[in-house]
C-alpha cells in the first residue's frame, strides 16, 4: 500500500464509493415510498363501502359481485398487512377486523373484513409490500460500484503514475558507468516530456563525461613532454642513488600517464573480435606475471572459447589479476561455465574493499586509500579500463567482498563464442 499508485487507487475508490453512496442515500430519502398507512387508507375506505353495502342489502351486494363467505379467505396470512389494514379501517370508519392473505399458489392478495360472526366480505386488494429481494439488489448495486470504481481507479492511477514509473525504470537501468539508456519518447504529453527531459539529461551527462575523458587523455599526453625533459635533466644528476630515485618516480608517472591515455582509448576504441581461448589467454598472463614476482595460482584447464579482442581482453584480465596479487596478496583464478557464459573468478585473501566504497571501484582514479600509494604504485585506472574492455565484448565484471575466507572476489562473465554454449 506504500506505492503512490496504490494510494491513488485507494483514494479514487474511496472517493467514488463515498460519492455514489451519499447520492444513493440522498435519493433513497427523497424518493421514499409512501407510508403503508397512507396507501392502506384508500383501500380501507373502499372495503368499508363494500362492507356497508353487504350489511345494508345482502342480495344487492351479491348481485354486484361482492364475495360474502362464512370464513376469511384461505392461504397464508400477511400479518403486517393485516395489522395496517385493521388500523386503517379503524381510522376511516367503524372498527372492523381485517385479515390479509395471499391466495395459495398465486400472487393475488385478498382482504377479508369481518361483518359479524361467520360473516366476511372478501375482496382483492393491491400488493403494497416492498418488492422481494431488495437487499440483494442493494448488495449487487454496492458490489457493482466497488468493482467499477476499482477498475476505473486502477486504469487512471496507472495512467497518472506513468511518467513517474518511467523515471523509476530509467533510474533502475542506470548502468554502473552512470549512463541512462535512451528512453522512447512516446505516449501522453507528460510521459513524452519526462522521457525528453531524461534523454536530454543523459546526453548532457554523456558529453560531460566524454569531455572529462578527453581532458584525462590530454593531460596524460601533455605530461609526456615535461617528463622527457625531467628525465634528461635527471641523467645529469651527480649522485647515483638520487638519480635512481628520480628515474623510479618518473617511471611511475609515465605509467600513470600511459594508463590515462589507454583508458580513453579503450572507451572509444573497438577491437576486431576473434576467437579467444580464455584458458590459454590466462595461462599466458600467469606465465608473464609469475617471473615478475606476482603470486598467482592458475586455473585448472577448461575449454572456454569466447569472441573478443585478445590484446584488450588480456589487458583487462591482467589488471584484475594484478590487483588481486598486489592489493589482495595473491590471486587464485578459477574458470567455469554458467549457462551461455564463460566465467573467470579471481579470488584473493586480502582486506577487500570497504562496503561504502565498493560501488565506486570502477570510477577512474578511484583508490581505497591514497596513503597506500607509497607502498603500492598505481593510478586507480586498472579497474576502469578492465570494465570498459569487458563490457565492450558483451561481458560484465562484478566485484564483491567475501566473508569466509575474507578477501575480494572479482568475477568476469563473457558470452561463450557462438555454437559453444552447450558443452
Ligand atoms: N583485490 C583487491 N583487494 C583490495 N583492494 C583492491 C583490490 N583491487 C582493487 N582494490 C582497490 O581498488 C583501487 C582501484 O583499483 P584499480 O586497479 O582501478 O587501480 P590501482 O590498482 O590502484 O592502479 P592501476 O591503475 O595501476 O591498476 C585500488 O587502488 C585498491 O585500493
Ligand atoms: Mg590495479
| Alpha-carbon torsion angle 299, 301, 306, 312, nearest 10 | 50
Residues 291 and 143 in one domain: no
Residues near ion ligand 2 (CB < 5 Å) are 323, 382
Would you say the CB of residue 259 lies under 6 angstroms from ligand 1?
yes
Residues 321 and 389 in one domain: yes
Domain that holds residue 234: 189-263
Residues 278 and 150 in one domain: no
In degrees and rounded to multiples of 5, residue 200 shows phi and psi of -65, -45
Tell the residue number behind the cell numbers 625533459, with chain if given.
229
Q: Which ligand is nearest to the CA of 370?
A: 1
The domain tally of the chain equals: 4
pLDDT (tens digit per residue) in 265-313: 766 666 678 899 999 999 999 999 999 999 999 999 888 999 998 888 9
Q: Which ligand is nearest to the CA of 259?
A: 1
Question: How far apart are the CA of 269 and the centre of ligand 1, in A?
Answer: 23
Q: Which ligand is nearest to the CA of 372?
A: 1
- Tell me what the mean pLDDT of segment 179-206 comes to: 84
Which pLDDT score, from 0 to 100, does residue 370 have? 64
- Between helix 134-172 and helix 4-30 the angle, nearest 10°, is 160
pLDDT (tens digit per residue) in 132-145: 777 888 889 889 98
Instruction: Name which residue leads in pLDDT, 402 or 187.
Output: 402
Q: Taking 60 as the threshold, does the pLDDT of residue 103 lie above it?
A: yes
Would you say the CB of residue 383 lies under 6 angstroms from ligand 1?
yes
Residues 15 and 138 in one domain: yes
Residues 375 and 406 in one domain: yes
Q: Which ligand is nearest to the CA of 324?
A: 1
Contacts of 339 (CB under 8 A, 6+ apart): 421
Would you say the CB of residue 382 lies under 6 angstroms from ligand 1?
yes
Which pLDDT score, from 0 to 100, does residue 411 have? 97
CATH code of residue 374: 3.30.565.10
Q: Taking 60 as the threshold, does the pLDDT of residue 14 lie above it?
A: yes
pLDDT (tens digit per residue) in 143-189: 998 899 899 989 988 888 887 887 788 778 776 566 777 888 887 78
Would you say the CB of residue 332 lies under 6 angstroms from ligand 1?
no
Q: Taking 70 as the threshold, does the pLDDT of residue 392 lie above it?
A: yes
Residues 233 and 350 in one domain: no
High-pLDDT (> 70) share of the chain, %: 94
* Ligand 1, atom 6, residue with closest C-alpha: 327
Q: Decide if 180 is inside a domain.
A: no
Q: Report the residue among 257, 354, 367 best suited for mutation to probe ligand 1: largest number of ligand atoms under 8 A from its CB.
A: 367
Q: Taking 80 as the threshold, does the pLDDT of residue 331 lie above it?
A: yes
Average pLDDT, the chain: 86
Q: Which atom of ligand 1 sits closest to the CA of residue 255?
A: 26
d(CA 208, CA 241): 44
High-pLDDT (> 90) share of the chain, %: 35
Which pLDDT score, from 0 to 100, does residue 383 have? 92
Q: Which atom of ligand 1 sits closest to the CA of residue 381?
A: 25
pLDDT-wise least confident of 175-184, 240-249, 332-341: 175-184
3-state secondary structure the chain: CCCHHHHHHHHHHHHHHHHHHHHHHHHHHHCCCCCHHHHHHHHHHHHHHHHHHHHHCHHHHHHCCCEEECCCCCCCECHHHHHHHHHHHHHHCCCCCEEEEECCCCCCEEEEEEEECCEEEEEEECCCCCCCCHHHHHHHHHHHHHHHHHHHHHHHHHHHHHHHHHHHHHHHCCCCCCCCCCCCCCCCHHHHHHHHHHHHHHHHHHHHHHHHHHHHHHHHHHHHHHHHHHHHHHHCCCCHHHHHHHHHHHHHHHHHHHHHHHHHHHHHCCCCCEEEEHHHHHHHHHHHHHHHCCCEECCCCCCCEEEECHHHHHHHHHHHHHHHHHCCCCEEEEEEEECCEEEEEEECCCCCCCCCCHHHCCCCCCCCCHHHHHCCCCCCCHHHHHHHHHHHCCCEEEEEEECCCCEEEEEEEEEECCCCCCC
Would you say the CB of residue 194 lies under 6 angstroms from ligand 1?
no
Residues 24 and 11 in one domain: yes
Q: Decide if 178 is inside a domain.
A: no
Instruction: Name which residue leads in pLDDT, 421 or 184.
Output: 184
Question: How far apart are the CA of 205 and the centre of ligand 1, in A?
Answer: 26
The count of other CB atoms within 10 Å of the CB of residue 373 is: 13
Q: Which atom of ligand 1 sits closest to the CA of residue 385?
A: 18
Q: Report the residue among 220, 331, 352, 380 best suited for mutation to probe ligand 1: largest number of ligand atoms under 8 A from its CB.
A: 380
CB 111 within 8 A of CB 128: no
Would you say the CB of residue 324 lies under 6 angstroms from ligand 1?
yes
Question: How far apart are the CA of 368 and the centre of ligand 1, in A?
Answer: 7
Identify the burial level of 131 via C-beta atoms within 10 angstroms of its C-beta, where 0-12 means exposed, 13-18 middle and 19 or more buried: exposed
Residues 364 and 376 in one domain: yes
Residues 311 and 373 in one domain: yes
Residues 354 and 291 in one domain: yes
Q: Cis check for the bond before 70: say yes or no (omega within 30 of 0).
A: no
pLDDT (tens digit per residue) in 210-243: 888 778 778 887 888 888 889 889 999 899 899 9
Would you say the CB of residue 350 lies under 6 angstroms from ligand 1?
yes
Q: Report the residue among 294, 382, 389, 405 best suited for mutation to probe ligand 1: largest number of ligand atoms under 8 A from its CB.
A: 382
Which pLDDT score, from 0 to 100, does residue 175 have? 65
Q: Decide if 184 is inside a domain.
A: no
Q: Taking 80 as the threshold, does the pLDDT of residue 198 lie above it?
A: yes
Would you say the CB of residue 82 lies under 6 angstroms from ligand 1?
no
Question: How far apart are the CA of 367 and the centre of ligand 1, in A?
Answer: 6
Question: How far apart are the CA of 91 and the centre of ligand 2, in A?
Answer: 107
pLDDT-wise least confident of 180-184, 262-266, 397-401: 262-266
Q: Decide if 402 is inside a domain.
A: yes
Q: Taking 90 as the threshold, does the pLDDT of residue 336 lie above it?
A: yes
Amino acid at each position: 500500500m506504500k506505492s503512490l499508485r496504490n494510494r491513488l487507487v485507494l483514494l479514487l475508490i474511496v472517493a467514488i464509493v463515498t460519492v455514489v453512496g451519499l447520492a444513493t442515500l440522498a435519493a433513497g430519502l427523497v424518493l421514499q415510498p409512501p407510508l403503508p398507512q397512507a396507501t392502506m387508507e384508500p383501500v380501507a375506505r373502499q372495503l368499508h363501502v363494500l362492507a356497508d353495502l353487504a350489511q345494508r342489502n345482502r342480495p344487492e351486494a351479491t348481485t354486484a359481485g361482492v364475495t360474502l363467505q362464512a370464513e376469511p379467505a384461505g392461504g397464508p396470512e400477511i400479518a403486517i398487512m393485516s395489522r395496517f389494514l385493521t388500523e386503517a379501517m379503524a381510522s376511516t370508519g367503524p372498527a372492523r377486523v381485517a385479515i390479509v392473505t395471499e391466495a395459495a399458489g398465486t400472487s393475488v392478495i385478498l382482504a377479508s373484513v369481518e361483518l359479524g360472526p361467520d360473516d366476511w366480505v372478501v375482496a382483492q386488494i393491491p400488493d403494497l409490500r416492498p418488492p422481494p429481494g431488495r437487499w440483494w439488489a442493494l448488495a449487487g448495486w454496492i458490489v457493482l460500484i466497488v468493482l467499477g470504481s476499482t477498475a476505473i481507479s486502477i486504469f487512471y492511477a496507472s495512467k497518472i503514475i506513468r511518467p513517474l514509473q518511467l523515471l523509476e525504470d530509467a533510474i533502475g537501468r542506470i548502468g554502473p558507468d552512470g549512463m541512462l539508456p535512451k528512453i522512447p519518447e512516446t505516449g501522453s504529453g507528460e510521459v513524452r516530456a519526462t522521457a525528453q527531459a531524461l534523454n536530454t539529461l543523459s546526453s548532457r551527462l554523456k558529453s560531460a563525461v566524454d569531455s572529462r575523458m578527453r581532458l584525462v587523455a590530454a593531460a596524460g599526453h601533455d605530461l609526456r613532454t615535461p617528463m622527457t625533459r625531467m628525465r634528461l635533466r635527471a641523467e645529469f644528476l651527480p649522485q647515483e642513488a638520487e638519480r635512481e630515485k628520480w628515474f623510479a618516480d618518473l617511471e611511475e608517472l609515465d605509467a600513470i600517464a600511459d594508463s590515462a591515455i589507454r583508458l580513453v582509448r579503450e572507451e572509444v576504441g573497438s577491437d576486431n573480435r576473434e576467437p579467444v581461448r580464455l584458458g590459454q589467454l590466462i595461462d599466458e598472463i600467469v606465465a608473464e606475471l609469475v617471473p615478475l614476482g606476482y603470486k598467482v595460482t592458475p586455473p585448472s584447464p577448461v575449454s572456454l572459447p569466447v569472441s573478443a579482442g585478445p590484446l584488450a581482453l588480456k589487458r583487462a584480465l591482467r589488471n584484475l589479476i594484478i590487483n588481486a596479487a598486489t592489493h589482495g596478496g595473491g590471486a587464485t583464478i578459477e574458470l567455469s561455465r554458467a549457462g551461455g557464459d564463460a566465467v573467470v573468478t579471481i579470488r584473493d585473501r586480502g582486506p577487500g574493499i570497504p562496503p561504502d566504497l565498493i560501488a565506486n571501484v570502477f570510477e577512474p582514479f578511484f583508490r581505497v586509500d591514497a596513503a597506500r600509494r607509497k607502498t603500492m604504485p598505481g593510478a586507480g585506472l586498472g579497474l576502469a579500463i578492465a570494465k570498459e574492455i569487458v563490457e565492450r565484448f558483451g561481458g560484465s565484471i562484478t566485484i564483491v567482498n567475501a566473508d569466509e575466507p575474507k578477501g575480494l572476489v572479482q568475477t568476469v562473465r563473457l558470452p561463450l563464442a557462438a555454437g559453444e554454449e552447450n558443452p
